Amino acid sequence: MLRYRIRKYGLTASEYVDILTSQEFRCAICRKPQTKTFCVDHDKETGKVRGLLCGNCNRAIGYLHHNVQSLRRAIVYLDDRGSEK
């Protein structure tokens, strides 16, 4: 599965490890370490790899259609309602 993801996104194994190392072996968004293989997050238009995400964070930005404005509104929504973790 990892080899497929690396090949699908045009990464070498070394590039994948470099990204993983730069993220300290954690999800680029929630910063939690993973026991499973990370999802390769990429720009849907250019195909450029942005980073490695856990499944939950990858799905979250996908459900918001990778739309920055929607993500910002979600942050404001949570901020306004006192949601802190």
Q: What is the pLDDT of residue 35?
A: 84
pTM score, two decimals? 0.84
Q: What is the pLDDT of residue 36?
A: 85
- Distance from C-alpha of 1 to C-alpha of 82, rounded to nearest angstrom: 39
- Distance from C-alpha of 59 to C-alpha of 71, rounded to nearest angstrom: 13
Ordered DSSP codes for 18-65: HHHHHTTTB-TTT--B-SSPPEEEE-TTT--EEEEE-HHHHHHHHHTT
What domains can be seen in the chain, in order of their start residue? 2-80 (3.40.1800.10)
Q: What is the pLDDT of residue 19?
A: 96
**Which of the residues in the chain have pLDDT under 70?**
83-85
